[in-house]
Amino acid sequence: MTTSVLSLVEELIRRPSVTPEDEGCQALLAQRLAALGFACETIAGGGVVNLWARRGAEGPLVVFAGHTDVVPPGPREQWHTDPFVPTQVDGNLYGRGAADMKSSIAAFVVAAEEFIAHNPDHPGSIGLLITSDEEGPATDGTVKVCEQLVARGERLDYCIVGEPTSSVQLGDTIKNGRRGSLSGRLVVKGIQGHVAYPEKARNPIHQCAGALAELAATEWDRGNEYFPPTTFQISNFHSGTGATNVVPGEAVIDFNFRFSTASTADDLKTRVLAVLDRHQLEYTVDWTLSGLPFLTPRGTLCSALGDAIAAELGIEAELSTTGGTSDGRFIARICPQVVEFGPVNATIHKVNEHIAVDSLEPLKNVYRRTLEALLR
């Protein structure tokens, strides 16, 4: 089976664009987009390459967003095929990035080609925002492009991020939001000493145990129509000298909140500090806010995409906000309606990542149908 989407996906997979490398993926995309009348701009910095491509000058502006970088393939010997040689086996296309998310990017481009071929004078504008810094620290990628767009007054109206959102079959899930991520590193100070003389020491493990138990048992919020309740998890606990007869002098605890729009980062910080103070700990906390939650309620974009999925695939997509963070968190700061939709995510980041070949054309058609609905 050979299709234009499949051919483009294979060309992208052949480029070993392990984050933050792009390996020419965006140049290939820009070449095809320029032929359609897109103005293509490279925005680079910090070892990261970003592509901003736009066709049209009027609103509404419909943007497809994604990333050309992929995670490392892992142990090569565990792959059935070379991760950077696209290979079809039993109806599946294997290769790193096949599902996350070079197939979506290829589908974006071909959907735009087909839409423009039938609507050369379409109203509004089409944009593509592509980065090589999504799988890495995400400090020089989409966020930098968004900053430049704001600085020059370019307004985004709708954005579809091509993340692999489908769970069991293509089209079953649209992500219409994501939880925020707030991490903290708590250092509890004690006094090191001999375990046989506890009166001369202060054990930070003993001291913080009650506070950690209280934090773990706290109901932070109850979520809302779109989000599950905010969660608190301890990911690492470090203490001790390695000796069995020494009371440690400090304990270091890493924790994370995945929080909904029912809470704010500042409120969560305040409540954590109140618990620590109530337990009379000597401590410091360093905070890292990786992303704020975002939400696109049911409306124009959710309806257009949902209708496109129903027409093409015959199923009703579920709206969901589960999962980790994505670059949607940056785009949502400058775009009122942002959703994520893409292939089945069963093999993303895994050895032998793959996508069903027969899902590529329907994926492209869903994107094209959504363009048709939004740019009439």
Q: Is 69 a catalytic residue?
A: yes
Q: Considering the candidates 10, 22, 69, 340, report the single residue annotated as catalytic.
A: 69
Expressed in percent and rounded to 5, the helix, strand and coil fractions of the chain are: 30, 30, 40
Q: Cα–Cα distance between 1 and 79 in angstroms, integer?
A: 23
The reply, when asked if residue 77 is annotated as ligand binding, is: no
Query: Was 67 annotated as part of a binding site?
Result: yes
Q: Which of 22, 23, 134, 340 is catalytic?
A: 134
Across the strands, what pairs with 254? 185, 236
- Among candidates 317, 295, 298, which has minimal Cα distance to 307? 317
Please report which helix (H) or strand (E) contains residue 368, including its range.
helix 360-374
Q: Has 279 been labeled as part of a binding site?
A: no
- Smallest CA-to-CA distance from 73 within 260, 356, 351, 359 is with 351
Backbone torsion region of residue 23, taken as left when φ is above 0, otherwise alpha when ψ lies between -120 and 50, otherwise beta:
left
Establish whether 10 is an annotated binding residue: no
Phi, psi (deg, nearest 5) at residue 233: -135, 135
Say which DSSP state 359 is in.
G
Report which residue type is found at 304.
A
- Residue for token digits 């103005």? 39
Instruction: Please state, in angstroms and rounded to a whole number, the distance separating the CA atoms of residues 121 and 24.
Output: 30
Separation CA 320–CA 228 (nearest Å): 10
The dihedrals phi and psi of 124, each to the nearest 5 degrees, come to 70, -160
Query: Does residue 318 have a known ligand-binding role?
Result: no
Q: Is 283 helix (H, G, I), strand (E, B) or coil?
A: strand
172 is catalytic: no
**What tokens were used for 257?**
């909140």
Just list the catalytic residues. 69, 134
Residues annotated in a binding site: 67, 100, 135, 163, 349
Known binding positions for Zn(2+): 67, 100, 135, 163, 349
